[in-house]
Chains A and B, each alone.
Chain A
Amino acid sequence: DAGVTQSPTHLIKTRGQHVTLRCSPISGHKSVSWYQQVLGQGPQFIFQYYEKEERGRGNFPDRFSARQFPNYSSELNVNALLLGDSALYLCATTSPGQGNTGELFFGEGSRLTVL
């Protein structure tokens, strides 16, 4: 079975531009979370979506937005890019029915470099 897939794997943008990152969950997984991992730090929670509704949001500015589609795939959008947005963006899903006890299954990430 395919794991969590993310695209693109690498991308370079300049300050002020906009970026869209994409994630396809494991088949049957309906919850998608997004994390930002800055070099040398642990992942930080950005958003969680379940059944196309936002279920949680981390401490990120409004430049960050996301959505989930009927097939449970998800997009993370970042507007007006700043140098500090350079990071590995990770998508993660959880098995249905596990609630708060379920582990996250991560994709390989999208590495964004802002110049």
Chain B
Amino acid sequence: AQSVAQPEDQVNVAEGNPLTVKCTYSVSGNPYLFWYVQYPNRGLQFLLKYITGDNLVKGSYGFEAEFNKSQTSFHLKKPSALVSDSALYFCAVRDSNHGGSQGNLIFGKGTKLSVKP
């Protein structure tokens, strides 16, 4: 079965410091991996995705993520955090072997990122 784990409920970072939000996944085929951000009482905004190719993926707002197949991880990173990055972050996976439903993303439970001035 497909699954996503975000082991940290909350990550606290000082502004200007690097941040990492962790994600591990489990799929039977090749993973298609996504990161989304959600601000309070809002929908989800797409940040970046890994489909194939270079393991380091760059996305919106200076975020990047590194795909590690051996560790089945896809951690989200940013070199220098901003207070405005404070939000809820979701990792999601779609199994390439999961035929038919392109809408079926499996989401983690989310990690709350808090960036303090």
Contacts and interface: CB of A to CB of B under 8 A. Distances in A.
Sorting the interface of chain A by its residue count into under 10, 10 to 19, 20 to 34 or 35 or more gives 20 to 34
B101 A56 contact: yes
Contact of B42 (A42, A100, A104, A108): A108
Contact of B102 (A40, A90, A100, A109): A100
B103 A104 contact: yes
A109 B92 CA distance: 18
A111 B106 CA distance: 21
Interface string A87-115: 00010101000111111111111010000
B82 interface: no
Contacts of A104: 34, 44, 46, 103, 105
Contacts of A111: 41
Interface stretch (A11-19, A43-51, A77-85): A43-51
B22 interface: no
Given A42-B108, A56-B100, A108-B43, 17 more contacts: A4-B43, A31-B103, A33-B103, A33-B104, A42-B4, A42-B90, A42-B110, A45-B103, A45-B104, A55-B101, A56-B104, A92-B103, A94-B103, A100-B94, A104-B44, A105-B46, A109-B42
3 closest cross-chain pairs (CB), A and B: A56-B101, A33-B103, A48-B103
Interface of A: 4, 31-33, 40-45, 47-48, 50, 55-56, 58, 90, 92, 94, 98-109, 111
15 contacts: A33-B103, A42-B90, A42-B107, A45-B105, A45-B106, A50-B102, A55-B100, A55-B101, A56-B101, A94-B102, A94-B103, A104-B103, A106-B36, A109-B43, A111-B41
Interface of B: 4, 32, 34, 36, 41-46, 49, 51, 90, 92, 94, 96, 98, 100-110
